[in-house]
A and B are shown apart, each in its own frame.
Chain A
């Protein structure tokens, strides 16, 4: 357990000096605050930017940052040094996952300041599930990719599909048909209702299936590649 804490501490120190990862965590919460307070369009749904950007944030930030962190450590051989220092692979992955989840939840907390206080638990609860799935998918990419270049080329299309599909689904029925199988789209629909009572079973089912698939892919990737 101590090693998980060490990994989290290391990542906090590193992220403060890593602008490319830091910007992913900060960009959407800041944009949400700016747009919600500065942009007002007639007939625009309530809290439009908070709901839209939070789903994009969920599909983008955890996925790209986890993949980038793991692949960078592999490329620079610092991951091997950690393994040689008796840090177990699961401790490392748990440390990275918890760290990214905590940072993303802090970002979601900032975004939630635009919401009525009663909606905040629902908003954070739903997003936390989405962050979990994105983190696991990001870990799959990080484990599979031998270096940052491969990681970026894999993570970009995956991230674009998951984060932009919900937005594009608003304008195109065909995309909407396909997007309904993605956890990001179902979470957007859940955020539209913003009530525990309004949760539809199909949304739960899609999010659960996405979770199971992500975890299955993670174990397949880890079994094949390990952390070397």
Chain B
């Protein structure tokens, strides 16, 4: 569905994207993880044809992105972080503009508003919506067209946990319908919960990629099992067959409060590979 090969893009002599290759199959959720300034939005803009790469090929639906027809573009939903809504117009009117452009019947407008939980606010001016509601309206705008490919740039950035969860549910529903989702995020929990495949992006380069669990297991160097005992004591055991007896003994004595294996999270993998945290901004890096 989405194929990119050897993508380079620079601004004012600074390489923002360096040699990105992607091959994303249909019906999957691909997550691009990276801190602010890593090049996520630039890459999504290159893939969606909003920016022309300095070199490299981008193909969507098997066609070069610059050669996509109007009909092809109608199958692509793009929700960028900075995309606005018409503040003075109601939620329904905001969607009706795009329903008219895409030739979607108006009953779909109200169905989509219901899907995103805004049916009671259909007549409310968009400027009076909360940040979370506005994000849902922006998402409704792209879901209304039943896209085959969905590009989401930081879809839950700055939202409360409830709204975040709601948006995750909507994204997973799209996947179930066979939609390919390309999302950027700096939230590793979001990536782990949603994505079939993730790529860790740092300073314009993909430093690691794979299924979230697979990536985490690959960097599980310590291979320990951490047990918190009912006495309040924490113990660490080697993650091998030699520890089985000890764990069984503790379990049978009822001494185990919690038990965890020690594989790293995407956050710690990213930290190990780059020395940066995923929620690290450019300002923090150069401070």
Which residue of chain B has the shortest Cβ distance to A7 in the bound complex? B97
B7 lies within 8 A of chain A by Cβ? no
Interface residue ranges of A1-29 to B (CB < 8 Å):
2-3, 5-6, 9-10, 13-14, 17-18
Interface residue stretch chosen among B52-60, B83-91, B181-189, B262-270: B83-91
Quick check: B93 and A13 within 8 Å, CB to CB?
yes
For the complex formed, measure the closest distance between the CB of B198 and the CB atoms of chain A, giving whole angstroms: 25
B124 lies within 8 A of chain A by Cβ? no
For the complex formed, measure the closest distance between the CB of B176 and the CB atoms of chain A, giving whole angstroms: 25
B148 lies within 8 A of chain A by Cβ? no
Which residue of chain A has the shortest Cβ distance to B97 in the bound complex? A10
27 contacts between A and B (CB under 8 A): A2-B100, A3-B101, A6-B97, A6-B100, A9-B97, A10-B86, A10-B89, A10-B97, A13-B89, A13-B93, A76-B87, A77-B80, A77-B82, A78-B84, A78-B85, A78-B86, A80-B50, A80-B82, A82-B101, A84-B48, A84-B78, A84-B80, A84-B83, A85-B98, A85-B101, A86-B70, A86-B73
Which residue of chain B has the shortest Cβ distance to A83 in the bound complex? B50
A52 lies within 8 A of chain B by Cβ? no
Interface residue ranges of B36-70 to A (CB < 8 Å):
48, 50, 70
Quick check: A81 and B84 within 8 Å, CB to CB?
yes
A105 lies within 8 A of chain B by Cβ? no
* A-B contact sample (11 more), CB < 8 A, given A13-B89, A18-B88, A80-B83: A2-B101, A6-B100, A14-B86, A14-B88, A14-B89, A77-B83, A78-B84, A78-B86, A81-B141, A84-B80, A87-B101
**Hey, which chain B residues are within 8 Å of A84, CB to CB?**
48, 50, 78, 80, 83
Quick check: A17 and B88 within 8 Å, CB to CB?
yes
Complex alpha-carbon distance, A80 and B101, angstroms: 14
B223 lies within 8 A of chain A by Cβ? no
Mark contacts of A61-104 with chain B using CB atoms, 8 A cut-off: 1 yes-contact digit, 0 otherwise: 00000000000000011101110111100000000000000000
Q: Which 8 A-B residue pairs are closest in the complex by CB-CB distance?
A: A76-B84, A77-B84, A17-B88, A6-B100, A78-B84, A86-B73, A81-B83, A85-B101
**Hey, which chain A residues are within 8 Å of B73, CB to CB?**
85-86
Chain B interface residues (CB < 8 Å from chain A): 48, 50, 70, 73-74, 78, 80, 82-89, 93, 97-98, 100-102, 125, 141
**Hey, which chain B residues are within 8 Å of A3, CB to CB?**
101
**Hey, which chain B residues are within 8 Å of A81, CB to CB?**
83-84, 141
Which residue of chain B has the shortest Cβ distance to A3 in the bound complex? B101
**Hey, which chain B residues are within 8 Å of A86, CB to CB?**
70, 73-74, 101
**Hey, which chain A residues are within 8 Å of B97, CB to CB?**
6, 9-10
**Hey, which chain A residues are within 8 Å of B86, CB to CB?**
10, 14, 78
**Hey, which chain B residues are within 8 Å of A6, CB to CB?**
97, 100-101
For the complex formed, measure the closest distance between the CB of B67 and the CB atoms of chain A, giving whole angstroms: 14
**Hey, which chain A residues are within 8 Å of B80, CB to CB?**
77, 80, 84
For the complex formed, measure the closest distance between the CB of B71 and the CB atoms of chain A, giving whole angstroms: 9
Which residue of chain B has the shortest Cβ distance to A88 in the bound complex? B70
For the complex formed, measure the closest distance between the CB of A6 and the CB atoms of chain B, giving whole angstroms: 4
**Hey, which chain A residues are within 8 Å of B89, CB to CB?**
10, 13-14, 17
Interface-centre pick from A2, A3, A18, A81 (highest chain B CB count, 10 A): A81
**Hey, which chain B residues are within 8 Å of A5, CB to CB?**
100
Interface-centre pick from A76, A78, A80, A84 (highest chain B CB count, 10 A): A84
Which residue of chain B has the shortest Cβ distance to A228 in the bound complex? B50
**Hey, which chain B residues are within 8 Å of A82, CB to CB?**
101
